[in-house]
Amino acid sequence: MALYFRKKVLLAAIEASYGLDEVPTGAANAMLASEISINPMEGSDLERGHDTPFLGASGTIPTDLHATMTFRVELAGSGTAGTAPAWGPLLRACGVAETLNASTSVIYNPISGGFESATIYLNIDGTLYALVGARGDCNITVNASAIPQLEFTFTGLWVKPVAAALPSADYSAFLKPLAGSKANTPTFTIGGTNHVMRNFRLGLGNDVQGRFLIGPDAEQIVIVDRSDMVETQIEAVALATLDPFALARDQETVAIALAHGKTAGNIATIDVPQAQMQRPSGLTEGQGIKEWSLNLVPLPDAGNDQWTLTLT
């Protein structure tokens, strides 16, 4: 009987101990995601390379086994200020801290140690693919006339796929998102000045690597570095209002603020206090209007404060 690729259930939970399977369930840990893709058995193949009196292959040995997965989750809050969204564990497994302020806000910011990890299950029509000890990277996108997204890439230690019944999934914790628009995205500023924006991306820039050595706890997926980046395309303005060329030349920084959402419990605000302008790579146009594609590097001040994502 054919197995349907469309029939998928994605589950994820933070691990209490690195690499310990948290056994996520459809009732508590279902993730409403799209564009799910998995490479279930990545690694290397070592050639045995025997010298023999006859021609022919001598076989290989698979090593450094791991799995990778990509998918998107809609950027929306929990519906209650101070309550973490259902996708919170995914962002936490990308080297990000989650701070809950009761009845007020949930704040996410990058960290430089003590990284959490996740167990991620993907069941495709009765076959269970599992990643344990998973850590990842994320891009946060807010574009005009599009659904804001969290775009995840995860790497996890390999687990042999097994047959398992497709679980029921409870997606009730996921709110309907709002498309990026003038009404739904009331704030976008660079240097404290409002700008007309076409697209925006905050990339965490995590360097995620597999570490496969010998000894206790010697096999891990680790985050070894980070290089955050903001990419945005805005309507060009008079240089007296914003001069990206002078800012790049002088290595100047500007603050970036973006707020999306209209109702309490479903407002997401991205703040980048000091972003260094990079050299504009060129000019572009949209509908005959001159636009700038800008790249900016979020810079830390005290550390781990180069950006925040606040849900209120």
- Confidence at residue 55, expressed as pLDDT on a 0 to 100 scale: 95
Cross-strand partners of 308: 271
- Is residue 296 a contact partner of residue 256, using CB atoms and an 8 Å limit? yes
Task: Give the integer Cα–Cα distance in Å for 185 and 216.
Answer: 49
53 occurs within a structural domain: no
Overall pTM surpassing 0.95 (yes/no):
yes
3-state helix, strand, coil in the chain (%, to 5): 5, 50, 45
- Is residue 84 a contact partner of residue 108, using CB atoms and an 8 Å limit? no
Measured from the Cβ of residue 245, the count of other Cβ atoms closer than 10 Å reads 13
3 occurs within a structural domain: no
153 occurs within a structural domain: yes
DSSP 5: T
280 occurs within a structural domain: yes
Q: Compute CA distances 196 → 39, 176, 232, 233, 298, whole Å.
A: 39, 25, 11, 9, 20
Task: Give the integer Cα–Cα distance in Å for 122 and 232.
Answer: 33
- Is residue 247 a contact partner of residue 190, using CB atoms and an 8 Å limit? no
- Confidence at residue 1, expressed as pLDDT on a 0 to 100 scale: 86
Copy the structure tokens of residue 249: 């030349």
Query: How many domains are contained in the chain?
Result: 1
The boundaries of the domain holding residue 256 are: 8-44+61-301
144 occurs within a structural domain: yes
192 occurs within a structural domain: yes
- Confidence at residue 6, expressed as pLDDT on a 0 to 100 scale: 96
Q: Compute CA distances 311 → 26, 78, 98, 186, 247, whole Å.
A: 25, 9, 11, 15, 30
241 occurs within a structural domain: yes
- Is residue 265 a contact partner of residue 80, using CB atoms and an 8 Å limit? yes
pLDDT digits (tens, 9 = 90+) for 299-309: 999 999 999 99
50 occurs within a structural domain: no
pLDDT digits (tens, 9 = 90+) for 31-45: 999 999 999 999 999
Task: Give the integer Cα–Cα distance in Å for 32 and 54.
Answer: 55
- Confidence at residue 282, expressed as pLDDT on a 0 to 100 scale: 84
Least Cα distance to 115 among 82, 87, 137, 86 occurs for 137
Least Cα distance to 73 among 87, 84, 83 occurs for 87
- Confidence at residue 27, expressed as pLDDT on a 0 to 100 scale: 98
- Is residue 209 a contact partner of residue 224, using CB atoms and an 8 Å limit? yes
Task: Give the integer Cα–Cα distance in Å for 125 and 244.
Answer: 51
3-state SS class at 239? coil
- Distance, C-alpha 257 to centroid of its chain: 19
**Which residues of the chain fall below pLDDT 70?**
none
